[in-house]
Amino acid sequence: MRTSRIAVTAAAVVAGLSLSACGGDDSPVNAGSASSSSSSTPAEGQTESAPAEQPEGGAGSPDEEAPDQGSAGQGSADTGTKPERCHTDDLTITASDATIGGDETKTVAVTLLNKSGRECSIKGFAGVNLLSSEGAIPAARRDQKDDGTVLKSGEPTYFGIFYKANESGGSGVRIKGLVVTPPDEKKSVTLKWPGEPSLPVTDSPDPSVEIGPMGSVGQGQG
């Protein structure tokens, strides 16, 4: 009887192990299936997220536009840049008689030619002194406005010097030269005086010599 019980118990154990083995066979299959399902899910996820790579191409569009935007910015800055003012050494300065016959007021035209090889701006009134036997005669400014001029290389501008000639029959005040200083400059040029040889001696409070701003000449010049 004892031997039979041991045999029955052993048979039961074997049967239990057999069932366990069957269950174990199912588990690896299920695990494998689960693993396959799990690994396929990220793959499908990557496939679905592939359009997310398109922003890389989309980002290329702004990058392609960036040079145009930079170019436009440069152009705008260049357009707003003002040329440097004309310095004395940038200019060839000459003077000539511009009086029209019969005019009581005589005129000398001063030409300022840009020889610098670049654009430069000029605005306002030059400093003008007539060198005379009585000393320097400063020119007074006429009440005229000047909006300024940009001179290209090789381009001139003008202004006029206006004065009364000596018709008294006396020697008057003899003019020996002309000193011109461009606007905002300290360096001057001395020129030969091309106008009448003398100015009248006068005690009048009115100035004997006047000048116009850059770009204005008056008689005899455009």
* Residue pLDDT, tens place only, 79-92: 467 899 999 999 99
Alpha-carbon distance 111 to 126, whole Å?
Answer: 11
Q: Which residues of 1-37 are buried (b: 16+ CB within 10 A; e: fewer)?
A: eeeeeeeeeeeeeeeeeeeeeeeeeeeeeeeeeeeee
How close are the terminal C-alpha atoms of the chain, in Å?
145
Mean pLDDT of 44-50: 44
DSSP calls for 175-201: EEEEEEE-TT----EEE---S-SEE--
Give the pTM: 0.61
In a domain, 220, yes or no: no
In a domain, 219, yes or no: no
- Is 80 exceeded by the pLDDT of residue 165? yes
Q: Strand, coil or helix: what is 66? A: helix
pLDDT tier for residue 42 given thresholds of 50, 70 and 90: very low
From 80, 112, 141, the end of a domain falls on 80
Q: Do 94 and 202 sit in the same domain of this protein?
A: yes
Alpha-carbon distance 15 to 13, whole Å?
Answer: 5
Q: Do 103 and 133 sit in the same domain of this protein?
A: yes
Q: Give the pLDDT score at 102.
A: 74
In a domain, 11, yes or no: yes
Q: Do 160 and 186 sit in the same domain of this protein?
A: yes
Q: Strand, coil or helix: what is 115? A: coil
Q: Which residues pair with 91 in a beta bridge?
A: 114
Alpha-carbon distance 104 to 208, whole Å?
Answer: 13
Q: Do 70 and 135 sit in the same domain of this protein?
A: no
The DSSP bridge pattern shows strands 209-211 and 140-141 to be parallel
The DSSP bridge pattern shows strands 149-151 and 209-211 to be unpaired
Q: Do 59 and 98 sit in the same domain of this protein?
A: no
Containing domain of residue 135, as a range? 88-211
118 CB contacts (<8 Å, ≥6 apart)?
Answer: 83, 84, 153
From 43, 61, 80, the end of a domain falls on 80
Q: Do 201 and 159 sit in the same domain of this protein?
A: yes
pLDDT in tens, 173-197: 999 999 999 999 999 999 999 999 9
Q: Give the pLDDT score at 133.
A: 85
Q: Do 33 and 108 sit in the same domain of this protein?
A: no
Residue 84 DSSP symbol: P
Q: Do 96 and 156 sit in the same domain of this protein?
A: yes
Comparing 48-57, 86-95, 100-109, 193-202, the range with the smallest average pLDDT is 48-57
Over the chain, what is the mean pLDDT?
73
- Is 50 exceeded by the pLDDT of residue 170? yes
Alpha-carbon distance 100 to 111, whole Å?
Answer: 17
Q: Do 49 and 98 sit in the same domain of this protein?
A: no
In a domain, 37, yes or no: yes
Mean pLDDT of 2-9: 44
Under 8 Å between Cβ of 115 and 92: yes
- Is 60 exceeded by the pLDDT of residue 151? yes
Mean pLDDT of 103-122: 95
Structure tokens, 114: 């840009």
In a domain, 221, yes or no: no
